[in-house]
Each structure stands twice: as C-alpha cells, then as structure tokens.
Chain A
Amino acid sequence: MPTVNMQTANIFSFHGGIHPPENKTQSLQLPLGRPSLPNELILPLGQHIGQSSRPLVKVGDKVLKGETIAINNGFLSSFLHAPTSGTITAIEERLIAHPSGLSDLCIILTPDGSDTWTKLEPLSHWQDISKTDVLAYLSEMGIIGMGGAGFPTQVKLQGAYKNPLTHFIINAAECEPYITADDMLIREKTLELVLGIEILQHLVQADHVVIGIEDNKPTAIAALRTVLNKRKSKIQVAVVPTKYPSGGEKQLIQLLTGKEVPSGQYPADIGILCQNVGTCVAVHDAITLGKPLISRFTTLTGDALKNPQNVEVLLGTPVAHLLDYAESEPKKLSRLIMGGPMMGYTLDSAAVPIVKTSNCILAASKKELPPPAPEQACIRCGMCEQACPASLLPQQLLWFSKSQEFEKAEHHNLFDCIECGACSYVCPSSIPLVQYYRHTKSSIREAREATVKSDLAKQRFEARKARQDAEAAEKEAKRLARQKATPSKTTDEKKSAPAKAAPTAAAAPATTDESKKLKVDIAIGKSKLKKLEKQLLEAQENEHVEDINSLQLQVTDQEKAIALLEEQLAQMPSATPAAPAVNTAKASTAPVNDELKKAKVDVALIGVKLKKLQKQLIETPDDQELKDKINAFETDLKAAQDTVSRLSATTESHTAASEPKAAASDELKKLKIDAAIAKAAVKKVEKALKKAEEINAPEIEAIRQQLKEAQQRADDLEKALANPEAASQNAEAQTKKADAAPNNVDADAAKKRKIDLAIAKAGIKKAEKNIQLLQEQGKDEAEINASEWPSKLKEAQEKLAALEAEESAPATAVSAPVEKTADTVAQSEVKAEPEMDLATQIKKEKIAVALAKAQINKLNKRLESTPEDADSINQEINATQQRLQRAEALLEKLIHSQTNMQENR
C-alpha cells in the first residue's frame, strides 16, 4: 500500500500555549557547518540525568575517536566516549553548562588532529539478538535523550516494557523559537532517522508510530515523506500546528493521541513512548555504524552572530570556539543563552562545553532579548492560566511559592509544571513565574531530601540508643549476678539465724525452709548457667571472640556461685536430722536432757555459723555488717554455752540413771565429731585441689593424695560411726525398753538412716562436683572416666537407693503420723536432689554433644572452603567425632541411670 503513510493522523489539541516570534529562519540560511577541532574538548561526566559517569582513563592516556572514556555508575547513568583522537590532559573541575554556573568534574581531551577512529563494531544483527542486549549496547554507546532532559535511552526503553505500547511518538516538533537543530537534522539525515525509528520500533513493538512535526518545517516534512514513501513505511507523519510548547512530551502526546499523561506518571504508564529525532539518529549510528554518541546538531543563532547556522559539533567543544566559528560580534552580544529563549538559561562564561543535550547557543543582542522588566504586583488578570499548557493555576502557585506554602503548592500540582515559561511570557506584570516555581520545586526537593536524611539520622540514633541500653542492661545484669553470688549467703544466714536462735521445735521447719530456699537458688543459678552456656555455644558457633571470653568468665562465675550454694545445702542436712532429734528427745520422758541436747545443738550451730562468718570476714574484711553479725553470734554462742553447762550440771543426776545410754551417746557424739572433722578436712582439701586446678598449680598431685587420705579417714570414721551407733542403739533400746515409748527405737533408727542418707547424698554431690570440675577443665570423657569419681558417683547412688528403699520400709511401720510425714518430706527432698543433678548433667552432656556436632559441621564447612588444609581439618574432625561419641555414650548412661532412679522411686 503505497499510500499508507499519506493517511493523516488525527490531531487533537492541548490547553493553553503561546505563539512567540519563531525566529527560525536566521539559522537556516546557511548549510550545516562543521567547525574545526578546538584546542581542547571539555567532557563533563554528568551530561545526563542520574549518576555521573566514572572515568575510565587517566591523565596522559592516548585515546582514539569513539573510545570509551567513562562508564556508567549505576542503573541511571551513561557511558562517555572520546569525540576525537588525542590525549587526556586533565580530569578536573571545569565550568559546565548549568544554570548555576558551577563547576563539575570533566575529562579534558587535547585532540591530536588526526581524528582517528577506534575500531567500530556495529550491531549488525540487531533483529536477531535479544532486546536486552540491544539496550545494553545502546547504553554502552552513550545514547541519552537528546531532546533536553538527557534521560538515558535504555532506561526509558526499559520503562516502556511495563505496558504494551499503543503509540510510539517521534518528537520532531521543535517548538521553541530560534532552534532549528532538529529541522536541520531531519533534512540532513532523513534516511538515518527513519532507520533509527525502525530499530526503536522493533525494540518496543508499538502499534502506531507517529512522527509529530510542526507545520513550520515544510522542507523537513517533505524530506521525511519522500523517504517514508520510498521505503513503503507504515510510519505516520503528523503535522501539528505551530504552537509553543507543542514539543513538550506530554503536550505532543496530547496533540497526537488526545490522551493526557496523568499527574505524577510517565507516558509509558498509558502505553506511549516518546523519543526525540536526535535520539533516533544516534540509535541508528550506534547500531548500524557502531558510532557512539560523540557529536550532535546544534543551532548557533542570535543577532550577535554574523553567520548564524546549524553545526554538527563534537561534544565537549567550548562555546567560545563555536562563537568564533559563527563570527560573533562581542559588542553586540549582551546575553549568551544555552537552549532557547523560553527554556534556556544564561551562560556566565563562553568557556563551557557543548554537551549531549545542548541544542542551541543563542547569542542575543540587547535589542533582541532585553533584560527582564522589573516584577510588579500580580493583577489577577488570569492570562497565565489561559497560557498554561499543563492546565495549572499559575497565580495560585505563585502565591504559595511566595509565601513558602510548599504543601499547598504541591497540592496544586506544582510538580506537573513543565517550566515552559508560557505564563511568564504572557504576564503583563513581568512576574518571573517560572523562576518562582523552579525555586519552590527545588526547595521542596531539598526538604524531601532533608526529611529522608533526618529519618535516617533518627533511625541511626535510635539504633545506637537501643544498643547502648542493651549494653548497660547486660552490664547491670552481670553486676547483679556477681553481687548475688556473695550476699546471698549473708542473707541466708540472716534469715536462718533467728530461727536457729529460737530454742523451739520451729528449728526443723526453718531448716527445711532454708534448704528449700537454697535449692531454689541453686535451680535459678543452674538455669542461668544453662542460659550462659547456650549463649557461649552460640558465640562459639558464630566465632565472636570477645563474647566468648566474657561469657566464659560469666559461666565460671555462675558455676562457682552454684558450687557455693550446693555446699551450703550439703551442710543443711546435717542440721536437719538434728531437728528431729530434738523432737524425739522431747517425746522422751527426760525434758532436761532434751533441753540440754537442744542447747548443745544450738552451740554447735552457732559455732558453725560463726566460723563461716569469720571465713567471710577474711574474704571481705571491710564488711561492717558481717562484723556485727559475728559479734551477735559470739554472744549467742556464749549464752548457749552457758545454758549447756548449767543444764549439764542439773542433768548429772538424771544421767546417772541412764548411764549406758549416756555413755553410748557420748561415744557416738565423739565419733560423730571426729567424722565431721574428717569430712571438713576432706572438704578443705577438695577446695584446695579445686583452687590448685584452677590455677594449674604443680601441687595438684600432692593435694589429690591428701584428699584421698582424708577421704579414707572420713570413710573409716563413718563406718565406725555406723557400728557404735548400732551398739548404742541396742543399749538405748535396752535401757529404754522399760520406760521409753517403743516409738523411740524407730525414731532413732530413722535418725540414723537420715544421717546415712545425708552422707550418701553428700557423696553423690561431691562426686558430681568433681566430675563437673574435670569437665570444666576441658578434660576428655576418658580422663574423667579414668578418675575415681564416676565410680564413686555410682557407688553413692546405689547406696542412696538402698538407703531409701530401707527407709521407706520402716518408715511405714512407724505409727506416729507426724514423723511419717516428716520422713516422707525429707525422703522426697533427698530423692529429688540427685535427680535434679542428674538432669542438669544430662543437659550438660547434651550441650556437649551439640557443641561437638556444631564443631564437626563447622570443620566440614571449612574443609570445603579450604581444601588445602584437608589433612589437619580431617584430623580435627576425627578427634571431635570421637569426643562426640564419648559424650553420647555418657549421655546414654546418664539417661539410663535417671530412668533407673525414677523406677526406684
């Protein structure tokens, strides 16, 4: 269909617009000029919208024409190429073509004059390769929108893929007065333009392709029609009436499609893509010739030029060079404008270079462009509203701009203003409306950026505060934990002291209360310890070295605190059986004897407390509270001793009657005291051992020997104690048979069993503690197993189980219900204790297993990343696996014993 291009597209209209004098003929008198090479080319790195390019060359580099000298810096950025062959002489700040008159970083290229092209690689098979690759190629060729904004073309094309395109519009309107660069381009490069359009059409797949051109370019229109006819192209040419600003993207779209681009959206959002003719030619040159964007058509015009004309100029050419080429008359030149008279900006200096978006240099005389008339008050004539092509309310916007009411200005769609200057042009009061809008727009943008920045600052400030708070809280928690480890003892004593001082049967519940409290403390401490260990594990996994150290310290602290509490608890049961003893004594017929016993118990208890406090005093010599307490205890002790001596005097006669029992009990007492002393010695040696192990002292072996001896002695004594106790039991039974209630025998037996139970429990605890200690020191399970502790633990556990079984039998036989309940309470406590310990141990083992597994994982990962260390890593893995197996075996054993114990119960 040869006439397809002849069909006339529908032409719509847009609101407003003006008809300023065109002044286009001046620059069309002469043919296209090609100025000579300037002395230097100034190539700003930010010729486009978006991030400035990154220089790819250094000072002194020799480059060929078309060589890439700067690459894109992010998504919204572009490439830059050498416009001619030569040397890079500097990369420095130079004045650039910008309304601010500021400098920016530029690459300075001194031409060598030979103008040698680099090897060109056209994209000959652009139809066959993927569109993404073509877009990337366009980006590498430095193609940006040549209409004025300088938006990177590949980004614009990509944006067009969002929606299926209905219209692809080629902007050839060139509505601004004076400028004829596009007109000349169409005339000179008609075929290239059409080919470029066809390439872009292929890339965006639009239904309709329309070239929008103003009717003041008949030559260009004719040239286009000829070429399109020749190629039987479907591309339409839409001739639009001359009206400023029909060349605005949104206005041209409205003219050609009747559609209005919604506020805040892009043409692509309504399925329309708009490209400038200059861009189309650049696309053609890049793809079919392999030429990057290194030159452009620029109009040199104005009354101050003798030879106004269009030139094809290399990018980076200083404006001064072009003024010379067009023979400017400095006398006539009053204002040098880059761009057109409507939207261009005044250049302060002619040293600035031509960039990719420079379409016109207007060297105006004073007569041509008189200085703007002084601003006067707005008379509310409404002409600006009539002229506005964006259908805004310029008057309102002016008020808001003047009064800095940015929110209202935005509300009146200030950002839809295209800054065409039509309102200023028609304003009878010569108000520079556009300048107000530009100022307001940049103020709003600044405010937005400030908000973003202040939000970021706020976020960072709050994050910092949160971090500091967390640090402070952690420190406080650590401090509290440390504090708790020491004063918990004193508070315990404080509480127990009055209970002990009271010479009533209340002593028994008091001690059980206390032991319960201690147990709770231990449980809390242990859970804390567990938490810490977990944290430590995590830290080890994540390799936080600092955390690991501090956590390890915390863990040892916590363990020490628990050990201390456990020690206290271990001392408790020795007091607990004393309480029932008091009870039983009370039940007997000798009240004085009973009182004596009570007094003696008091003396012993006070003595123990005193000793402990004194020990503490040595540790913390400045503790006034402690000193006071010691004094109080000393007086208590004296009082108690007095009562003992008094009572013993009075009971002398009574005891004569029950001689054998007294003798037996005396002996028993002695033995007990000896056993207690021996146990204390064992404990002392243990403590020494622990300390020695902590500091890795060389005397460990000697101390261990001592410990063994001490334990041997303690065991012997315990055995001896058990025998005479039995003997004394007999004696007691005999003497008491006559007058004492049969309950007493049971009571005594119960007492004995309780003591045994306590001893067994203490033994278990001791063994566990030692095992734990060994584990702490990082000793292997094998070493631990080799030491005597696990076997001892087992022994003690067996003994405990046996004792418990034994106890439950006679306890049920005892008829006194009060005692029964007391027994069961003690029993359940005794039972719960080792179970809890076992549970914690199991947990510990589980942690050890988890740790070992994590380590193996880590090692495996390391093995993958660093295969060169394979040998050593493999060894480590093996060792860890062995450890894991051992830990698992132990865990199994522990679980087994736990189930056993539960069954026993």
Chain B
Amino acid sequence: MLTVLLAIGILVLLSLIFGAILGYANVRFHVEGDPIVDQIDALLPQTQCGQCGHPGCRPYAEAIANGEAINHCPPGGQATIQALADLLDVEAIPLDGDHGTETAKRVAVIREDECIGCTKCIQACPVDAILGAAKQMHTVIADECTGCDLCVEPCPVDCIDMVEVGVTAKTWSWDKPQGIAATSINIIATDRQAEAVH
C-alpha cells in the first residue's frame, strides 16, 4: 500500500515539477505573432501588386497561413509556388490564372514628355519608386520598381509603359542543359530493337 502511495506521490510530484517547467517555458519563450507568416512573407516577391486580392504581400502571407491557396501570386510564379509548397509541405499546384499570368520581369517607364504631373501614380506606387511633384514631371526609379502595374491604371494620360527588363551581359545567366536526349540514342542493340517495334 505504501509503495502504491509512494509511486502516486512521486508521479504527482514529477507532474507538478514538469508542469511548472512547461508553464515557465511557455511564458519565458513566448513567441509573439505567427512565425510562419514571416516565413511565407519572406518567400513572396514583395511586389505589393495586390494581384492576389490582398493589399500587399504580408496580408497574402497571413491569408496563406490561414489556409488560402498558394497559387495566387503571378509575380512570384511557379518558383514561389514551389518554395511555398516546400515550406508548408503541401503540393505545388499550377498558378491560378484568375489572378494573372506569370510575366517576365518588368519595370514601369514614364513617357516623360507626356506626363502632366498629376502625382496619381506616385500615390499608387506601393514602394515609393516614383519621383516627382505636383505639376512636375514624374519618373520611375527603375532599380526600386517592382513592376507591380499599380501605377498604370491611375495615370490619366496613359503615359506609363511596362517595359520588360532585357538581359544584359551582366545579368545573363547560363541556360539549363536540355537534359537527357529526347530522341532515342542507339547505343546498344536493344535500343535499335525497341525502335523497330515502334
């Protein structure tokens, strides 16, 4: 009887100790906010274009964390979808065409002699990449432009073009090899036989 009581007593004591440790750890190492949102946000392209239907990349990251589909980001394209799929351990799905199609990287360019200086594009730009003042010509800081398209719509004189960023010798990258030849290579006798069957 004493043994049983002793065992129960020890277990109670242990549970109290561990409970206290866990409770302390919960308070001491409390994480503010949702870290998964930060991780998702880091993968998104930060164009802040709103094509996903959210006002910026972080809101979409929050939406993904709450279960929204990961294929609503056209600027990120398939690469972002893949990265999100890896992070969230879900299947990579093709880009949802309703939110736009994946395009080559573009930047906004203002046809400066047509600009009337209305500042509407400046207000629309989510990253403050347009420079100008009221009744002064505006221009886009190409290095800061994320190519989000948001400035095109508000322009009353349609003087903003989205121009594809061309590849220069500095930004060029090597192509991926085509991989194992698609056409059958006749190396050994059975290859030839297989071809004959077809």
Report A's interface with B, CB cutoff 8 A. Answer: 46, 96, 98-100, 102-104, 374-377, 402, 404, 432, 435-436, 438-439, 441-443, 445-446, 450, 453-458, 460-461, 463-465
Task: Kindly identify which residue among A98, A100, A103, A374 contacts B181, using a CB–CB cutoff of 8 Å.
Answer: A374
Report if B32 contacts A (CB, 8 A).
no
Report B's interface with A, CB cutoff 8 A. Answer: 41, 44-48, 56-57, 82, 126-129, 144, 146, 167-170, 172-181, 183, 185, 187
Bound CA span A439–B44, Å: 23
Bound CA span A96–B168, Å: 11
Name which residue of chain B comes closest to A454, CB basis: B46
Can you list the 3 inter-chain pairs with the closest CB atoms, starting with the nearest? Answer: A442-B173, A454-B46, A374-B181
Contacts of A402 in B (CB 8 A): 179
Bound CA span A450–B45, Å: 8
Contacts of A463 in B (CB 8 A): 128
B16 → chain A closest CB, angstroms: 44
- Given A377-B180, A461-B127, the answer on whether A439 and B57 have CB atoms closer than 8 Å is no
Contacts of B167 in A (CB 8 A): 100, 102
Bound CA span A137–B176, Å: 42
Contacts of B47 in A (CB 8 A): 454, 457
Whether A439 pairs with B177 at a CB distance below 8 angstroms is: yes
Contacts of A377 in B (CB 8 A): 180
A404 → chain B closest CB, angstroms: 8
Bound CA span A620–B170, Å: 68
Contacts of A441 in B (CB 8 A): 174
Contacts of B178 in A (CB 8 A): 375
Name which residue of chain A comes closest to B56, CB basis: A461
Name which residue of chain B comes closest to A98, CB basis: B169
Task: Kindly identify which residue among A96, A102, A104, A460 contacts B144, using a CB–CB cutoff of 8 Å.
Answer: A460
Between A and B, 29 residue pairs with Cβ closer than 8 Å are A46-B170, A98-B172, A99-B172, A99-B174, A100-B167, A100-B172, A102-B168, A102-B169, A103-B169, A104-B169, A374-B185, A375-B180, A376-B180, A376-B181, A376-B185, A402-B179, A435-B176, A436-B177, A442-B174, A443-B173, A454-B146, A457-B46, A457-B47, A458-B46, A460-B127, A461-B46, A461-B48, A461-B127, A463-B128
Contacts of A432 in B (CB 8 A): 177
Contacts of B174 in A (CB 8 A): 99, 435, 438-439, 441-442
- Given A376-B185, A458-B57, the answer on whether A435 and B177 have CB atoms closer than 8 Å is yes
Q: Which of B144, B174, B181 has most A Cβ within 10 Å?
A: B174
- Given A375-B178, A456-B144, the answer on whether A464 and B169 have CB atoms closer than 8 Å is no
Name which residue of chain A comes closest to B45, CB basis: A454
Bound CA span A96–B170, Å: 12
- Given A102-B167, A461-B46, the answer on whether A439 and B173 have CB atoms closer than 8 Å is yes
A479 → chain B closest CB, angstroms: 21
Contacts of A456 in B (CB 8 A): 144
Contacts of A436 in B (CB 8 A): 176-177
Q: Which of A99, A377, A445, A461 has most B Cβ within 10 Å?
A: A461
Contacts of A443 in B (CB 8 A): 173
A307 → chain B closest CB, angstroms: 32
Contacts of B41 in A (CB 8 A): 458
Task: Kindly identify which residue among B45, B129, B170, B175 contacts A439, using a CB–CB cutoff of 8 Å.
Answer: B175
B166 → chain A closest CB, angstroms: 9
A698 → chain B closest CB, angstroms: 37
Whether A460 pairs with B128 at a CB distance below 8 angstroms is: yes
A482 → chain B closest CB, angstroms: 25
Name which residue of chain A comes closest to B129, CB basis: A460
B113 → chain A closest CB, angstroms: 24
Bound CA span A590–B153, Å: 83
Name which residue of chain B comes closest to A443, CB basis: B173
Contacts of A454 in B (CB 8 A): 44-47, 146
Name which residue of chain A comes closest to B127, CB basis: A460
| Given A99-B172, A374-B181, A375-B178, 7 further pairs, Cβ under 8 A | A46-B170, A96-B169, A375-B180, A435-B175, A439-B174, A458-B41, A460-B128
Whether A457 pairs with B144 at a CB distance below 8 angstroms is: yes
- Given A104-B168, A457-B144, the answer on whether A375 and B128 have CB atoms closer than 8 Å is no
Bound CA span A461–B55, Å: 11
A373 → chain B closest CB, angstroms: 9
Bound CA span A790–B46, Å: 63
Bound CA span A442–B170, Å: 11
Q: Which of B45, B82, B144, B176 has most A Cβ within 10 Å?
A: B176
A55 → chain B closest CB, angstroms: 17
Bound CA span A404–B57, Å: 25
A614 → chain B closest CB, angstroms: 45
Bound CA span A357–B80, Å: 38
A309 → chain B closest CB, angstroms: 30
Contacts of A439 in B (CB 8 A): 173-177
Q: Which of A374, A439, A441, A446 has most B Cβ within 10 Å?
A: A374
Contacts of B127 in A (CB 8 A): 457, 460-461, 464
Whether A46 pairs with B169 at a CB distance below 8 angstroms is: yes
Contacts of A450 in B (CB 8 A): 45
